[in-house]
Amino acid sequence: MRTGKLAKHRALALALSLVLGLGAAAGASAQEARIAAVNSDRILRESAAAKAAQSKLEQEFAKRDKALQDMAQRLKAMSDNIDKNGASMAPADRAARQRDLAQTDADFQRKQREFREDLNQRRNEELAAVLDRANKVIKQIAEQQHYDLIVQEAVYVSPRIDITDQVLKALAANSNGTGASGTSPN
């Protein structure tokens, strides 16, 4: 997580130095640099591709999530049974049920950890694919509209240079011509 923030800060510093460098060069040559900004967080929240990826993940992991919920209910029932009836159980029976509960709980914890790891890995893969598609669209927009610089993260962005809506519309238009895998048929 820290390296991600560090990379963002480095990218922001690089973008800022590029902006300042372009500004100085523009002043010297009397040519104005065209700069735009994109809110990548908004693209990951609002784009049709991101919403489709989220829906795909929910469907992909629904069965395992349901199994974990059922297992959690079984654990609670086992624990409640031991709490309620433990005093009247034979010591050997109570010890066996407690061992059973501990083993089931350890199994549950392991499965829950694996579920979270698998879900996070798949989420990262899907979001990377969405960002890759968004970056291709951003590059197309930059080339078509002759932008010199498009930044994705900034402390402040004037609505005048924010092209996020344009990117969202282009992504939506591109998703209409994509296959089931979310990639273009080319």
Query: Hey, is 37 helix, strand or coil?
Result: strand
pLDDT confidence bin for 134, thresholds 50/70/90: very high
Quote helix, strand, coil % in the chain, to nearest 5: 75, 5, 20
pLDDT greater than 60 at residue 20? no
Single pTM value for the model = 0.67
> Quick count: other Cβ atoms within 10 Å of Cβ 152?
19
CA distances from 58 to 54, 116, 122 (A): 6, 13, 11
Q: What angle do CA 46, 47, 48 make, to 5 degrees?
A: 120
Domain 34-176 has CATH 3.30.910.20: yes
Q: List pLDDT tens digits, range 140-185.
A: 999 999 999 999 988 999 999 999 999 999 999 987 654 434 444 3
Assigned token pair, 66: 């349901």
Q: List pLDDT tens digits, range 75-133.
A: 999 999 999 988 888 999 999 999 999 999 999 999 999 999 999 999 999 999 999 99
